[in-house]
């Protein structure tokens, strides 16, 4: 099915959607993005994604081209135009097309490039992988130092994902100075008894929107939340592990660098957090 995509205010069939070769997103990875899930035709944690988009843009000295109400209308329109029941909305905002290549930013009044498209994923919340869990390997984290900005500079995460694929597993956990930062495109957690442990927020990791919600629900469900560094060795000894992201929600991790956790089976805490997250977020979906 041909998707209808959004490009700078126009709704066009995907084959007709065009961005300039001089666009700074293309030449410099000078742009930011958001991935928002859709369940039952409704947007999951839309406000969280809007807030982070605004922060990413301001960290790069870019003006947010739309109010949250305008974004909501655009998101709803693209979901409707493409008949998305379950899936994702991808949004990218770049610094735009200055008409040539230059390291310096163009004038602040250059209009940004705004692109949205949808991905249909029927049964997204019932992913069979959630029943069996992911296996991960660890790789060195050699990304840049502003991972809190959700830029489209995703080459190293892609390389790490390929290393995972070549190793026959699902994802890679990135390790810096001996401690896990996050997954290639998700936040990482371990579970010890009643404690859920995940790295604290800083410019070392993306401030996951799913992470914020999951930690809130975890505290409400009387889990102890510990925001601190952990090593791969500690993770391999943990009772359970899981990751969170807007597209995978809460995904159990059952093997880390060949070491099985909870007998290689999905554990009760990851299962509970996934259910809690999906129930609460479906209820609040827009």
Four-CA torsion 195, 199, 200, 204, nearest 10 degrees: -170
Q: Residue 2 CB, nearest distance to ligand PDD (Å)?
A: 23
Q: Residue 185 CB, nearest distance to ligand PDD (Å)?
A: 4
Task: List the one residue from 97, 151, 244, 262 that touches ligand PDD (CB under 6 A).
Answer: 244
Non-local (6+) Cβ contacts of 188 within 8 A are: 173, 180, 181, 182, 198, 199, 235, 241, 243, 253
Task: List the one residue from 92, 185, 198, 262 that touches ligand PDD (CB under 6 A).
Answer: 185
Q: Residue 214 CB, nearest distance to ligand PDD (Å)?
A: 8
Size of the site for ligand PDD (CB under 6 A): 14
Q: Which residues are catalytic?
A: 150
CA-nearest of 119, 120, 152, 116 to 12 is 116
Q: Is residue 208 within the footprint of ligand PDD (CB under 6 A)?
A: yes
Q: Is residue 186 within the footprint of ligand PDD (CB under 6 A)?
A: yes
HSE at residue 213, side-chain half, CA atoms within 13 A, is: 27
Token representation of residue 109: 């009044």
Question: Given the rule CB under 6 A, which of 24-32, 100-108, 119-127, 179-187 is the region that contacts ligand PDD?
Answer: 179-187
Non-local (6+) Cβ contacts of 2 within 8 A are: 13, 14, 15
Q: Quick one: 118 or 245, whose CB is closer to ligand PDD?
A: 245
Q: Residue 255 CB, nearest distance to ligand PDD (Å)?
A: 20
Question: Given the rule CB under 6 A, which of 61-69, 118-126, 243-251, 262-270 is the region that contacts ligand PDD?
Answer: 243-251
Where do runs of H (alpha helix) occur along 60-113? Answer: 68-81
Q: Is residue 206 within the footprint of ligand PDD (CB under 6 A)?
A: yes
Cα-based distances in Å from 136 to 85, 156, 163, 185 = 30, 16, 10, 13
The Cα–Cα gap between 27 and 104 comes to: 12
Task: List the one residue from 82, 210, 223, 235 that touches ligand PDD (CB under 6 A).
Answer: 210
Question: Given the rule CB under 6 A, which of 106-114, 165-173, 209-217, 262-270 is the region that contacts ligand PDD?
Answer: 209-217
Helix axes 268-284, 209-220, angle to 10 degrees: 110
Q: Quick one: 138 or 186, whose CB is closer to ligand PDD?
A: 186
Helix axes 46-59, 68-81, angle to 10 degrees: 120
Question: Given the rule CB under 6 A, which of 3-11, 76-84, 182-190, 265-273 is the region that contacts ligand PDD?
Answer: 182-190
Q: Residue 107 CB, nearest distance to ligand PDD (Å)?
A: 30
- Interface with ligand PDD by CB under 6 A: which residues? 35, 182, 185-187, 206, 208-211, 244-247
């Amino acid at each position: 099915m041909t998707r209808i995509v959004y490009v700078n205010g126009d709704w066009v069939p995907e084959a007709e959607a065009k961005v300039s070769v001089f666009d700074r997103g293309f030449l410099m990875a000078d742009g930011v993005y958001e991935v928002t899930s859709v369940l039952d035709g409704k947007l999951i944690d839309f406000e969280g994604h809007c807030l982070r988009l605004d922060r990413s843009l301001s960290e790069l000295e870019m003006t947010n081209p739309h109010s949250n109400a305008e974004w909501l209308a655009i998101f709803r329109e693209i979901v409707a135009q493409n008949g998305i029941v379950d899936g994702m909305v991808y949004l990218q905002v770049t610094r735009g097309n200055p008409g040539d290549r230059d390291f310096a930013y163009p004038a602040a009044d250059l209009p940004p490039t705004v692109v949205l498209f949808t991905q249909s994923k029927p049964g997204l919340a019932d992913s069979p992988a959630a029943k069996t869990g992911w296996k991960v390997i660890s790789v060195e984290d050699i990304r840049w130092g502003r991972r809190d900005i959700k830029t489209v500079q995703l080459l190293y995460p892609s390389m790490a994902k390929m290393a995972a694929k070549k190793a026959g597993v699902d994802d890679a956990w990135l390790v810096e100075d001996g401690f896990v930062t996050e997954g290639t495109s998700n936040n990482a957690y371990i579970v010890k008894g009643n404690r859920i442990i995940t790295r604290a927020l800083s410019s070392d990791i993306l401030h996951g929107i799913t992470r914020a919600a999951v930690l809130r629900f975890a505290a409400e469900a009387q889990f102890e939340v510990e925001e601190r560094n952990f090593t791969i060795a500690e993770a391999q000894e943990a009772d359970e592990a899981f990751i969170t992201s807007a597209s995978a929600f809460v995904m159990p991790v059952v093997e880390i660098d060949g070491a099985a956790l909870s007998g290689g089976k999905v554990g009760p805490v990851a299962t509970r957090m996934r259910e809690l997250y999906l129930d609460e977020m479906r209820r609040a979906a827009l």
